[in-house]
């Protein structure tokens, strides 16, 4: 058993390839290909078959905050959160803070890959409910880091609708340590039913183009 730095020197001596140093851009690119691309795709465009959202272009602050939440069990531990449980072990595999930071920078730099709309909703009706959302996610959906509100212009619609339902039913954002999730929960509760969620996300899909 070698310490990482010892094994790096050892690798040089014997001419073996070694894993990149934790926290470097090379490390992030390597981990993304190995650990993230199998579900989120090589370009970060997501995969609806396994409910993995597009993540390309999400700001680094949000990616790192969510990776910390998944890693620390603040997101993805509710017994109804099937998709979150799929993601959680992946964040636990990248446990070092430096590796998480580097992955955030890497994901932010990937060109946004938002897929075409799939949810049938009434965007005009949704626009009225979106008025409440602008306080944090802004009128153009670009988000506000000061309020920890992510942009809503990068992810696919089926994912956004699913997250609204999770927040509404306490599957996401109800963990006692999830302070930013707690600000989003009551907002999802203002949306009466599935149709209201579909409508507001149909409107969100018209933003950021
Ligand atoms: C086994 C499949 C799988 C792998 C591998 C995986 N993810 Fe995920 N990821 C998911 C799923 C499914 C979700 C959606 C969870 C939900 O619905 O709450 C998700 C959600 C996320 C989110 C939250 C997006 C948002 O808008 O809130 C981020 C960020 C993320 N993944 C980044 C990563 C990174 C970085 C890696 C590599 C370290 C990775 N994922 C590996 C399946 C995976
Ligand atoms: C008080 C501020 C606030 C308001 C108002 C608000 N949100 Fe949020 N929203 C947040 C925060 C903070 C998060 C991120 C929570 C986390 O870190 O998990 C979030 C997350 C989300 C997500 C999940 C995004 C993702 O990538 O997983 C969706 C979807 C969303 N909000 C939609 C809405 C909609 C639609 C409205 C209006 C009905 C709304 N929000 C109003 C603060 C707000």
**What is the reported pLDDT for 2?**
39
* Average pLDDT score over the chain: 91
- Rounded to whole angstroms, how far apart are CA atoms 202 and 196? 10
User: What pLDDT was estimated at residue 196?
Assistant: 97
Q: How far does the centroid of ligand 2 lie from the alpha carbon of residue 89, in Å?
A: 24
The reply to whether ligand 2 has any atom less than 6 angstroms from the CB of 184 is yes
The stretch 36-56 carries a mean pLDDT of: 96
Ligand 2 closest atom vs CA 129: 38
- pLDDT at residue 209, as a whole number: 56
Distance CA 166, CA 185 (A): 9
Mean pLDDT, range 125-151, rounded to an integer: 97
Exposure string (b/e) for 136-162, b if CB count within 10 Å is 16 or more? Answer: bbbeebbbeeeebbbbbbbbbbbbbbb
Query: Is residue 53 pLDDT above 80, yes or no?
Result: yes
- Cα-to-centroid distance, 76 and ligand 1 (Å): 10
pLDDT, residue 71, reads 94
pLDDT at residue 5 is higher than 70:
no
Query: For position 77, what pLDDT does the model report?
Result: 93
> pLDDT value at position 51?
96
pLDDT above 70: residue 131: yes
Task: For the chain, give the longest Cα–Cα distance.
Answer: 66
């Amino acid at each position: 058993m070698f310490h990482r730095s010892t094994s790096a020197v050892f690798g040089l001596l014997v001419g073996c390839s070694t894993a990149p140093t934790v926290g470097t851009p090379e490390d992030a690119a390597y981990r993304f290909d190995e650990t993230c691309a199998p579900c989120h795709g090589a370009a970060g465009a997501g995969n609806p078959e396994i409910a993995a959202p597009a993540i390309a272009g999400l700001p680094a602050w949000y990616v790192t905050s969510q990776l910390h939440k998944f890693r620390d069990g603040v997101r993805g531990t509710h017994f109804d959160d099937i998709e979150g449980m799929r993601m959680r072990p992946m964040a636990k595999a990248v446990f070092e803070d430096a590796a998480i930071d580097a992955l955030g920078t890497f994901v932010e730099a990937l060109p946004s890959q938002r897929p075409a709309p799939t949810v049938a909703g009434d965007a005009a009706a949704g626009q009225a409910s979106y008025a409440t959302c602008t306080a944090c996610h802004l009128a153009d959906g670009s988000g506000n880091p000061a309020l920890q509100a992510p942009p809503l212009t990068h992810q696919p619609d089926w994912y956004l609708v699913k997250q609204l339902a999770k927040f509404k039913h306490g599957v996401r954002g109800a963990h006692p340590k999830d302070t930013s999730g707690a600000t989003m929960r009551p907002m999802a509760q203002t949306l009466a039913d599935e149709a209201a969620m579909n409508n507001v996300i149909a409107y969100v899909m018209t933003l950021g183009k």
